[in-house]
Structure 1
Amino acid sequence: MENLTVNEGKTAAIISHFWVIGLIIGFILNMNKRNDFASFYIRQMLGLNVLQLLNGWVVYRYLGSNAGWIVGVLLFVLWLISLLAVLKGEKKLVPVVGEQFQNLFKGI
């Protein structure tokens, strides 16, 4: 049964990894028939997108472009870890902040 859940939610989970537009499309695809696998990755990507926006608005402005660039690279690595886990069909939290994303956005 778990393999069926992964296969059904994989498309929405992959689409949600492509910035805000993909996140919105993945959320809409998951609205009618809620899939636990897709919801897990939608929450992850919502959190990473919020961090990316904060990086652009706060870190670049107040800490400088070097700090913003470093945070951007770290966020890209987290995004890549998440995308590779989706492609493998695994539920894998992104390091450091993944559990907080799951708790913060548990209503999704």
Structure 2
Amino acid sequence: MENQTVSQGKTAAIISHFWVIGLIIAFVLNMNKRNPFTSFYIRQMLGLNILQLLNGWIIYKYLGNIAGWIVGVLLFVLWIISLIAAIKGEKKLVPVVGEQFQNLFKGI
């Protein structure tokens, strides 16, 4: 990826990692002048936020607190991996589900 594209989109990509509010802010920042680097991380974080929401609604409710806690820790690890890659300026998919997020939300 072009170095200028990364440097222009890096701040919004990092902001997108800070829960739903950061995701909304990054989406708004990226609306007018779409940056591929920022869009990549918006798609990653949208997917992780949806999984976190489903974890709270479904896993905790039907499989119990321990299963929900384990899934929550795994999602947190994926979030850390993504945040570190965004800070470094690398376009790195989160393991297991990153490719699916890119395909599901390719319109963003």
Specify the alignment match of 1:77 in structure 2.
77
Describe the SS at the equivalent of 1:83: helix
In 1, Cα distance between the equivalents of 2:87 and 2:107? 24
Matched positions, count: 108
Q: Percent identity?
A: 84
Deviation at 1:62, TM superposition (A): 0.1
Specify the alignment match of 2:3 in structure 1.
3
Within 5 Å, give how 1:16-95 maps onto structure 2. 16-95=16-95
Q: TM-score normalized by structure 2?
A: 0.99
Specify the alignment match of 1:103 in structure 2.
103
Listed as ranges, the gaps of 5+ residues in structure 2 are: none
What do residues 21-56 of structure 1 show as CA deviations (whole Å, max 9, x unaligned)?
000000000001000000000000000000000000
Listed as ranges, the gaps of 5+ residues in structure 1 are: none
Q: What RMSD in Å do the two structures reach over aligned CA positions?
A: 0.7
In 1, Cα distance between the equivalents of 2:15 and 2:72? 21
Q: TM-score normalized by structure 1?
A: 0.99
Moved over 4 A (4+): none
